[in-house]
Amino acid sequence: MHPDGTCRYEYVNPAIEAIFGLTPDQALNDPMTVVGRMHPDDASQVRHHYGHLAASQTPLRYQYRVHHPKQGLLWVEEYAQPESLPDGSVLWHGQIVDITEFKVMGSELSLSRARLREASELAQLGHWEMDLRTNGVWWCETTCNMLGCNLCDFELTAEEHWGRVHPDDLDRVKANHEAALCARQPNIKPIECRIRRDNGEFIWATHWARIRFDELGEPVQIFGTTQDVSERKRLEQTLIESKMAADRANQFKSDFVLGMSHELRTPLNAVLGFGQLLQHDPDLTPEQAANLEEIQKAGQHLVGLIDEILDLSRVESGRLELSTSTEDCGMLAEESLSLVTALAEERRVRLELDVGDGIAVDCDPIRLRQVIVNLLSNGIKYNRPNGEVKLSVRRQGDGEQESVRIDIKDTGIGIPQDRLDDVFRPFERLGREHVEGTGIGLVISKKLVEAMGGTLTVESRQGSGSRFSIIMPLGNGAHPPVSVMPSVTMKAKKARGLVLHIDDSTTNLRLLQRVLSRSNGVDYMGSPTGSLGLDLAIAYKPRLIFLDLELPDMHGFEVLERLRSMAATCHIPVVGLTARASAKDISKGLEAGFDRYIGMPFDIDEVMSAIQAYMADDERSLS
């Protein structure tokens, strides 16, 4: 560079071709050809730097862009050392290096870093490193932002890092790290904990971390990520609270239904009981008898409805207690079928049973029978005269997948394809209100089967019958011994003696008194309270006691206990006669020591059979 501002090259090597697309001669003849290949935005800067640095005799290091005629845009870096000449010129000794590749890599790297940062911010996922040798910890920018610190590339100590963890979570988090360190496992189990932000608030975060080991296998660093999951935690908490509120509401509903059912049963007992008494009246006209039958039918429907609503409410509130055992599925199927034979005969529907040998099923037998009976009754009810219902029991699948399949297939009216799901909705009758039913049997059945670990599905087509399939776990417990009870034939002898009835409802007392008044030789005595009942039992030593559970002065179980504890009364048979008559109530009652348990509204025949069993001076013959 000359003092007058002109310049020329003293020497140019052939490598100039690769960078500027010029020959050394072209550059030596006209230095402006070189300047002409520089990016227009950079050329003036390069010239400015040379001028400026020449004055201060400072070496030049500068990056700029060049337009190569064949290779396009290149990035170069120029290094040059100035040397002052006596005539005032400056001689630059320099070299130019093609750095295009580094520049591309560098920009790709910064692009990747920008993307990573954006992704971290979007996912609220920060990362950090802990040097186990120096105890130093580094947080990335997202971690800093997440915790409300303004500094990025923040350096802190392990103690400060742990100090952010909520005191109630700290031991758990540290133990989790320690466990992996002790076991020399690279991966630390993901863990959730609360971390303090700079403003003192806590956020919920999930940590994933990995330990890095040196070549000797010593742990040297922990690399971890921290994700803010506070929003998810908040939603979870809301869900938990909503579930608790729903459970409370369900509980309330279930208690309400239980109470209502009890309240409804008592008057129904009177309706049905006095109705049954009237049915025995020889002076009834045929019209009165028909009317009475309608009353009885409606009453029975209500009893069935109450039972089903109770069941549904128990299943829905999760209060259903199942007593599971391994049962012979064939026996259960046969028993169920026998319970619907009368209905099938009445409707002129043929029943068929097809049961594989020795198929055991894990279930609550009472509940599975209830489900099969319900499906069989539906198959009969929604059938046509001379139709058929087939019950089959098969094993299906193999190994762990093996299960029991119970199919109830009918040739009835079927269900439209688009209404198949509706049959499992409470009170959905699909417009078949003319057929006797409540519309909740299938809902209960499905829930019962699911509670026993099985599934209940349906396939059907309008007009071509339906198939309900129960899939249950194959029984893997011991097969229950099939108990063969000796059948007892009673030589019907006349019942005689005194019956004591303890019940706070005067209607119930009057009803049983009327029922028993038909039996010559049986005397009746009623008591509305437990304590009077006990006094009467001691004084009159009845041959049989009917006892309600809910008495104004004491619970029926207490009356029973006292009766059993006194020599004068301990031998007297006691029959529970109460509106609390679910399967669970019955088994609780029998466990408490009742000889028999009859639910209300009671069937007169059931009461009379108890009278006969405990008050007739019979001779029993075993066969």
Interface positions, 465-524, toward ligand ADP (CB under 6 A) = 466
370 lies in the binding site for ligand ADP (CB under 6 A): no
Among 415, 456, 495, 551, binds ligand ADP (CB under 6 A): 415
Among 82, 437, 454, 526, binds ligand ADP (CB under 6 A): 437
273 lies in the binding site for ligand ADP (CB under 6 A): no
133 lies in the binding site for ligand ADP (CB under 6 A): no
The three-state secondary structure class of 307 is: helix
Residue 232 or 432 having the CB closest to ligand ADP: 432
φ and ψ at residue 356, rounded to 5 degrees: -70, 160
Among 432, 461, 479, 494, binds ligand ADP (CB under 6 A): 432
Distance CA 72, CA 431 (A): 81
Residue 437 or 601 having the CB closest to ligand ADP: 437
Among 78, 327, 410, 503, binds ligand ADP (CB under 6 A): 410
- Per CB under 6 A, the segment of 245-253, 348-356, 405-413, 494-502 that binds ligand ADP is 405-413
Among 126, 387, 441, 542, binds ligand ADP (CB under 6 A): 441
- Per CB under 6 A, the segment of 30-38, 182-190, 232-240, 375-383 that binds ligand ADP is 375-383
Q: Minimum CB separation from ligand ADP for residue 415, in Å?
A: 5
In one-letter notation, the amino acid at residue 363 is: C
413 lies in the binding site for ligand ADP (CB under 6 A): yes
438 lies in the binding site for ligand ADP (CB under 6 A): yes
Contacts 24+ apart (CB under 8 A), 349-352: 349/379, 349/380, 349/383, 349/385, 349/386, 349/387, 349/388, 349/389, 350/386, 350/387, 350/388, 350/389, 351/376, 351/388, 351/389, 351/390, 351/391, 352/388, 352/389, 352/390, 352/391
412 lies in the binding site for ligand ADP (CB under 6 A): yes
Residue 190 or 463 having the CB closest to ligand ADP: 463
Q: Show the CA angle centred on residue 603, arms to residues 597 and 609, nearest 5°.
A: 65
φ and ψ at residue 325, rounded to 5 degrees: -150, 175
382 lies in the binding site for ligand ADP (CB under 6 A): yes
CA dihedral 587, 548, 298, 387 (to 10 degrees): 20
Distance CA 34, CA 66 (A): 9
Among 292, 430, 451, 608, binds ligand ADP (CB under 6 A): 430
In one-letter notation, the amino acid at residue 66 is: V
31 lies in the binding site for ligand ADP (CB under 6 A): no
Coarse DSSP helix, strand, coil percentages of the chain, rounded to the nearest 5 percent: 45, 25, 30
224 lies in the binding site for ligand ADP (CB under 6 A): no
Interface positions, 288-347, toward ligand ADP (CB under 6 A) = none
Residue 442 or 472 having the CB closest to ligand ADP: 442
Taking alpha carbons only, the member of 619, 48, 586 closest to residue 321 is 586
Residue 143 or 378 having the CB closest to ligand ADP: 378
Among 440, 515, 604, 615, binds ligand ADP (CB under 6 A): 440
125-131 sheet: strands from edge to edge: 154-157, 136-139, 125-131, 219-228, 202-213, 187-196
Half-sphere exposure of 418 toward its Cβ, with a 13 Å CA cutoff? 0
Q: Minimum CB separation from ligand ADP for residue 579, in Å?
A: 23
Among 439, 473, 480, 573, binds ligand ADP (CB under 6 A): 439
Residue 446 or 501 having the CB closest to ligand ADP: 446
- Per CB under 6 A, the segment of 32-40, 124-132, 371-379, 511-519 that binds ligand ADP is 371-379
CB-CB neighbours of 292 under 10 Å: 16
In the complex, which residue's CB is closest to ligand ADP?
437
126 lies in the binding site for ligand ADP (CB under 6 A): no
442 lies in the binding site for ligand ADP (CB under 6 A): yes
Instruction: Show Cβ contacts of residue 502 under 8 Å, excluding neighbours closer than 6 positions.
Output: 526, 527, 528, 529, 530, 533, 545, 546, 547, 548, 551, 556, 559
In one-letter notation, the amino acid at residue 572 is: I
- Per CB under 6 A, the segment of 197-205, 235-243, 312-320, 425-433 that binds ligand ADP is 425-433
Q: How many residues does the chain have?
A: 623
Number of residues that bind ligand ADP (CB under 6 A): 21
Distance CA 52, CA 42 (A): 15
Residue 415 or 502 having the CB closest to ligand ADP: 415
Residue 400 or 433 having the CB closest to ligand ADP: 433
Residue 204 or 382 having the CB closest to ligand ADP: 382
Distance CA 345, CA 550 (A): 40
* Spatial contact of 542 and 500, defined as CB atoms under 8 Å apart: yes
| Alpha carbon separation from 19 to 16, 70, 170, 290, 562 (Å, rounded) | 5, 10, 61, 115, 113
Interface positions, 138-157, toward ligand ADP (CB under 6 A) = none
Interface positions, 445-474, toward ligand ADP (CB under 6 A) = 466
Residue 194 or 467 having the CB closest to ligand ADP: 467
* Spatial contact of 580 and 601, defined as CB atoms under 8 Å apart: no
Taking alpha carbons only, the member of 210, 207, 209 closest to residue 228 is 207
Interaction site with ligand ADP (CB under 6 A): 374, 378-379, 382, 410, 412-415, 423, 428-430, 432, 437-442, 466
